[in-house]
Amino acid sequence: MKVITEASLRRIIRSDARRFVLEKDKILSPAAREFLTDRKIAIVQERTAGKPPEEERPIVSPDEQKKTMPRAEEAATEKAAYIDFESGAFYTRKPEHMTQLFGNQLVSKDHPRIIFRGMLDAVQAEVILVQTEIISKRGSEKLASALEEVLQTLRMMMRCDVLDESFEKKTILGLNHDEIREHSHHPMRHYNIKQMVLPDKSLGADYARLNHLRTAIRRTEIAAVSAYREGGGMNRSDIVEGLNRLSSVLHIIMCRYLAGWYNDSPAD
């Protein structure tokens, strides 16, 4: 079974929509169901092939949506507390090899979405470790502060994935999306630094750490593509694009580091 998220609904639902046909092999995430309910859009279950129209499941009105629970929520009873996201099976206790994807919906811990969340968690830990190493060695507070914005952006992504919310970060390091691309592709123009200066031990530990973070974010982006791939498109292109921009932000930080932006005294 595939989950329909709020983000995907926002892309396909027209402003004047009055009903939404839910395909039989798909379920709505809690946030997606709330999105439809708030807009008074009725949910219609897709008719099973071969059944006459009169045997279709009835339309669920917006008012009834608030009273009736989706299948995943029905599982949250004394007898069945969890539902298997893939098979629809019910569990009274959460199996050790499974974890929660949304609410009480369970998937295996090696599910692509869970692998992605694990990598997103890991890269946050790496940012904190680099910040700690910089500060403990009386390094640049300015550099640690720039990485704090990277950390907060990663945490926002995690929240948006878990709660099925849209991700939007208009600026990072004071740069909008177009400016991030411009500065990353033309560092000579903005910082008098060549594009992607290859790391070398002569450039110091901090530069090596920054490059390590850049590659960690790239790996996380690849995991996101695997987790969100749906047919020929992306289920959460907002997060995938955000990670792509964030790796460019790390490149910009590396260029600024070489240009002396993070020195204790202003660069000449």
What's phi and psi for 112, nearest 5 deg? -50, -35
- For the chain, where are the E strands, in sequence order? 2-4, 19-22, 26-28, 42-45, 82-84, 90-91, 98-102, 105-108, 229-230, 233-234
State whether CATH 3.90.1110.10 applies to domain 112-259: no
What pLDDT is stored for residue 136 in this prediction? 92
Pairing of strands 42-45, 19-22: parallel
- Please give the model's pTM, rounded to 2 decimal places: 0.71
Q: Could you report the per-residue pLDDT of 128-141, keeping only the tens digit for each?
A: 999 999 999 888 99
**Predicted pLDDT of residue 193:** 94
Q: How many angstroms separate the first and last alpha carbons of the chain?
A: 59
Per-residue pLDDT at 206: 95
Per-residue pLDDT tens for 150-192? 999 999 999 999 998 999 999 999 999 999 999 999 999 999 9
Alpha carbon distance 65, 37 (integer Å): 7
The ranges assigned to domains in the chain are 1-45, 79-108, 112-259
Structural element, H or E, at residue 72: helix 71-74
Vertex 202 angle, CA 189 and 200, to 5°: 70
CA dist 258 to 78, 128, 196, Å?
Answer: 60, 21, 11
* Rounded-to-integer distance, Cα 70 and Cα 187, Å: 52
> What is the predicted pLDDT for the residue at 63?
54
CA dist 108 to 52, 99, 112, Å? 37, 6, 9
**How much is the pLDDT for 80?**
67
* Regions in the chain scoring below 70 on pLDDT: 1, 15, 47-80, 264-268
